[in-house]
Amino acid sequence: MNDSAWNILKVPTTRRGYRKDVIRWSICVPAACSSTEVEEFLNYAALTSSIKGLQLSFEIPTNMCQVKRDLVLDEKDIFLGVVFLGFFVVIGFATAYDVMVARKIDDSSKGLKTKVLVSFSAYTNMMKLYAYTPSQYNLDSIFGIKAITMILILMGHAAAFLIGGPSMNSNYKEEAVLKVENGILLNNPLLVDTFLMVGAFLLCRLLLAELDKRKFINPLIVYVARIVRLTPAYAIVIGIYCTWFYKMDSGPLWEARVGLERERCLNSWWTNLLYINNYVNNDQLCMFQSWYLAVDTQFFFLAPLIIYPLWKWPIYGEISLFVATVVSVIVPFAVTYVGQLDPVLMMYSSEIVDLSSNPMYKSAYIKTHMRGMSYMIGLLLGYVIHRIQTSGMKIPKTVIWCGWIVAAVSSVSAMFTVSVFYNKPYDAFESATYASLHRVGWCIGIAWVIFVCVTGNAGKLNNFLTARGWVPISRLSYCAYLVNGLVELNTIGTLRHTRYLTNLDIAKETMSHIVLTYGLALFFSTVFEAPILSLESVLLKKATNTQKKKETTDGSTLSVESHSSAETTTTNSNGA
């Protein structure tokens, strides 16, 4: 190997290039040896025995060194352990009481204390997970859309971690980004916008329906109910990141990946719980997919400012929605063009090793002002569906066929044309145009699917999306979004060998990640999410003394609907 050939290998000519002169390997040394001492020894050995024309250097980062350690618990570990134990004891007692006593009591005879205790019953909450009641507003297709979208997002997360991890065949990574057929992985973050759009649609449609019935809704109750629904399970997962997760395993990349994530969570946990982590301390983002909750929550708090005028003063509301939609398209264009940013989060292997440190990820991808168009389309869809359902309007077949053509072209183009930007020199105008419109194109396609299903024009597609099998998967979406990062970080952190990547290998690995994620999601939902939802419902009904609230498409009442199953979302997931 001559010097010029080595330099060609060493310096990638494009961003998708992968340095082939960097080799990562590990050695075992006595614990008394520091990383600095080992680094000095190896560099000295390389200097004294170097091959002519070939220079070697060694670098041993401190966070890549590990020493076998005993389990030592601090006050944070003990506190979280006590919280877990408390939940287990209460749930165990509540489940036993529910099965042996409460189920023999007629529902109308159950007092407040019984209802509160049964809220923690694992048996009852598991039954609720699978329970199904047809939606009053024909919204059951949302079950299938949410479930399928979350599965695809989890697949994208797994693929991103595999591509960003160690591999034998780096050429696979370089070539994969050039293929159009890989668009659903390259543009996987676009799927998160499905959840933003669906959440906005549900919020708008259901709030308008409630306003028609009640004439007024206290927004404070809706806001508090949402925070109460989302935060307990979210806080528990953040607590795990800060405490037990780091101490549960080890591996060559454990400190660099899991240890780094732990430090970020210890520094920024409070921004997560305030749902401002996509703007505050985002260089120390805790949980790579947590940005989605912040974005969706911020939109959730702003949405009534558009929804209420749509109901009270339709003309002014429509103008406000139109202006907000136009602004939501202009802002990403301007930010991308002025900042010379990529059109999307590019899936180059060297740039997705640590998403939270990716400049594009921090400056644009996780920002609420870059995601507005998806939410506005959801609000528009909710308003249109509300008008159609309340008026009894019938949709002509010609409109249905034309709508399918537009939806198919726009969504497929938005998803798969991203590969163009991996094959050509950067152009700021083209990137800005794509950044401002690709989410619009994708959401138009998904919105049309919802539209035809809700209006009874989807036929077998609606039958597929409303199948009972989607119900529990859809209801587990939020917890799956929360725990997926644990699965991905554990997998990459404990990896002790390089992989030979192929499409089949990635497919097999992603399937295992999806199964593990939903297994963990079932546990977290049963222990931490469902009891809080049930308890909240009982207490709200008692406090307001109102009639039983009608169920929404995910089985929770309007007042506790989160519209936030993610990514990242992606997402929820994402990460998203």
**Residues with Cβ within 8 Å of residue 115, at least 6 apart in sequence:** 538
**Residues with Cβ within 8 Å of residue 420, at least 6 apart in sequence:** none
CB-based burial, 342-371: b 16+ in 10 Å, e otherwise: bbbbbbbbebbbebbebebbbebbbbbebb
pLDDT of residue 114: 86
Q: What share of the chain is helix, strand, coil (3-state, %, to 5)?
A: 70, 0, 30
Indicate the pTM of the whole model: 0.88
* Strand locations in 315-406 (E): none
pLDDT of residue 66: 75
Residue 167's DSSP bridge partners are 499
- The sign one gets for the Cα dihedral 124, 126, 130, 136 is positive
State the Cα–Cα distance between residues 395 and 275, nearest whole angstrom: 40
| Token representation of residue 384 | 């249109």
State the Cα–Cα distance between residues 108 and 566, nearest whole angstrom: 36
Nearest by Cα to 443 from 211, 186, 196, 134: 196
What number of other Cβ atoms are within 10 A of residue 259's Cβ?
Answer: 16
> Secondary structure of 509-548 in the HEC alphabet?
HHHHHHHHHHHHHHHHHHHHHHHHHHHHHHHHHHHHCCCC
- Is-contact 266 283, C-beta < 8 A? no
Residue 44's DSSP bridge partners are none
Query: Running DSSP on this structure, what letter comes out for residue 557?
Result: B
State the Cα–Cα distance between residues 101 and 96, nearest whole angstrom: 8
Q: Where are the domains of the chain?
A: 3-64, 141-560
Regions of the chain where pLDDT drops below 50: 1-3, 546-576
Nearest by Cα to 160 from 173, 175, 146: 173
pLDDT of residue 406: 97
> Cα–Cα distances in Å, from 127 out to 59, 130, 165, 250, 455?
55, 5, 40, 37, 30
